[in-house]
Amino acid sequence: MSKEWNPSSVFDVLGCEVAREVLALASVRAVSASELAERCGVSEPTIYRRINALQEYDMLTERTAIDDEGHHHKEYRTMLDEARFSVEDGQYDIDLQLRRDYSDRFVDFWSDLERGAEDVTGGGSRRPDDGPSDVSGG
């Protein structure tokens, strides 16, 4: 993540209809920039600007795919799982829940197994902060 989690900045990104469409389309399956441009009815440069903004906040991830002819291209997938907006005591906040990729989940699984072995042997206990990925702005 290269951008600071500032609610105003996140609202700017999510305030764009094209960015929201990109997130919705890429939540179903990985899609290319050209497919996103076609489905959103905008130019590829516009799509790439939205992709870059979403990637700066870790809401969109990119992978390289290879087609049947062996050509490489980028595909994009939504990492944003949930966004919550709240107002309290004269301030507003946005809480973003991001999906974690399978490699992160495997590392967490392995760590849990190791902690479980430590618990059985008396070597330690699970920390209360070992929960799902949560990024809050504010």
| Residue at token pair 């991830």 | 61
Q: 112 with 100: CB under 8 angstroms?
A: no
Q: For residues 118 and 32, what is the distance between their CA atoms, to the nearest angstrom?
A: 45
Q: For residues 24 and 78, what is the distance between their CA atoms, to the nearest angstrom?
A: 8
3-state secondary structure of 80: strand
Q: Is residue 1 part of a domain?
A: no
Domain count along the chain: 1
Per-residue pLDDT of the chain (138 residues; tens, 9 = 90+): 445 567 788 889 999 999 999 999 999 999 999 999 999 999 999 999 999 999 998 999 999 998 889 889 999 999 998 888 889 899 888 888 888 765 555 555 566 666 666 655 555 444 444 444 444 444
- Identify residue 62 by its one-letter amino acid code: E
Q: Is residue 2 part of a domain?
A: no
| Residue at token pair 């590392």 | 107
Domain ranges, residue 94:
7-136
Q: For residues 30 and 4, what is the distance between their CA atoms, to the nearest angstrom?
A: 26
pLDDT value of residue 96? 82
pLDDT value of residue 114? 67
Q: Is residue 35 part of a domain?
A: yes
pLDDT value of residue 124? 46
In sequence order, what DSSP letters do the residues of 86-126 get, joined into one string?
EEETTEEEEEEEE---HHHHHHHHHHHHHHHHHHHHTS---
Q: Is residue 129 part of a domain?
A: yes
Q: Is residue 123 part of a domain?
A: yes
Q: Is residue 22 part of a domain?
A: yes
pLDDT value of residue 1? 45
Residues 6 or more apart whose CB falls under 8 angstroms from that of 114 comprise: none
Query: Beta partners for 135?
Result: 96
Q: Is residue 84 part of a domain?
A: yes
Q: Is residue 42 part of a domain?
A: yes
- CATH code, domain carrying 84: 1.10.10.10
Q: Is 62 exposed, middle or buried (0-12, 13-18, 19+ CB in 10 A)?
A: middle
pLDDT value of residue 102? 54
